[in-house]
Amino acid sequence: SQTIHQWPATLVQPVGSPLSLECTVEGTSNPNLYWYRQAAGRGLQLLFYSVGIGQISSEVPQNLSASRPQDRQFILSSKKLLLSDSGFYLCAWSFSQGNQPQHFGDGTRLSIL
Amino acid sequence: LAKTTQPISMDSYEGQEVNITCSHNNIATNDYITWYQQFPSQGPRFIIQGYKTKVTNEVASLFIPADRKSSTLSLPRVSLSDTAVYYCLVGEGIYGGSQGNLIFGKGTKLSVKP
- The model's pLDDT over B29-49, given as tens digits with 9 standing for 90+, comes to 888 999 999 999 899 999 999
Q: What is the mean pLDDT of residues A94-109?
A: 89
| pLDDT tens-digit readout, B14-28 | 999 999 999 999 888
Binary contact (B104, A107; C-beta < 8 A) = no
**Cis link prior to A31 (omega < 30° from 0)?**
no
Element holding A78 (H helix, E strand): strand A73-78
List of domains in chain B: 9-113 (2.60.40.10)
Question: Which residues of A are less than 8 Å from B103 in CB distance?
Answer: 46
Sorting pLDDT into bands at 50, 70 and 90, what band is A99?
A: confident
Answer whether A99 sits within 8 Å of B92, measured CB to CB. yes
A92 — pLDDT class (breaks 50, 70, 90): very high
What value does the mean pLDDT take over residues A85-92? Answer: 95
> pLDDT value at position B100?
63
- What pLDDT was estimated at residue B2? 61
- Closest CB to A101 among B46, B96, B106: B46
B46: chain A residues, CB-CB within 8 Å: 101-103
d(CA B91, CA B38): 19
Pairing type for strands B9-13 and B108-113 reads: parallel
Q: What is the DSSP string of chain B?
A: ----B--SEEEEETT--EEEEEE-TT--TT-EEEEEEE-TTS--EEEEEESSEEEE-SS-EEEE-TT-SEEEEEESS--GGG-EEEEEEEE--TTSS--GGG-----EEEEEE-
Tens-place pLDDT, residues B47-102: 999 999 999 999 999 999 999 999 999 999 999 999 999 999 988 766 655 566 67
Total number of domains constituting chain A: 1
The rounded distance, in Å, linking the Cα atoms of A109 and B18 is 31
Residue A98 has pLDDT above 80, yes or no: no
pLDDT digits (tens, 9 = 90+) for A29-64: 999 999 999 987 778 888 999 999 999 988 776 789
Interface of B with A in 91-110 (CB under 8 A): 91-96, 101-107
Contacts of B36 in chain A (CB under 8 A): 101
Measure CA B101 to chain center.
Answer: 11
- Distance in angstroms (rounded) separating the CA atoms of residues B91 and B81: 29
What pLDDT sits at residue B107? 93
Domain that holds residue A63: 3-112
Q: What strand order describes the sheet that includes B53-56?
A: B18-23, B70-75, B61-64, B53-56
Buried b / exposed e over A80-95, threshold 16 CB at 10 Å, is ebeeebbbbbbbbbbb
Q: Mutation test of the interface with chain B: which of A5, A45, A99, A104, choosing the one with the most B Cβ atoms within 10 A?
A: A99
Among the listed residues B68, B60, B61, B6, the one whose alpha carbon sits nearest the alpha carbon of residue B31 = B68
What does the pLDDT read at residue B97? 53
The enclosing domain of A101 has a CATH number of 2.60.40.10
Nearest CB among A34, A42, A49 relative to B106 is that of: A42
Q: How far apart are CA A93 and CA A3, in angstroms?
A: 9
Cβ contacts of B95 on chain A, cutoff 8 Å: 98
- Inspect the interface and report whether the beta carbons of A44 and B92 lie closer than 8 Å: no
- Contacting residues of B for A43, CB less than 8 Å apart: 87, 104-107
H or E segment at A66?
strand A65-70
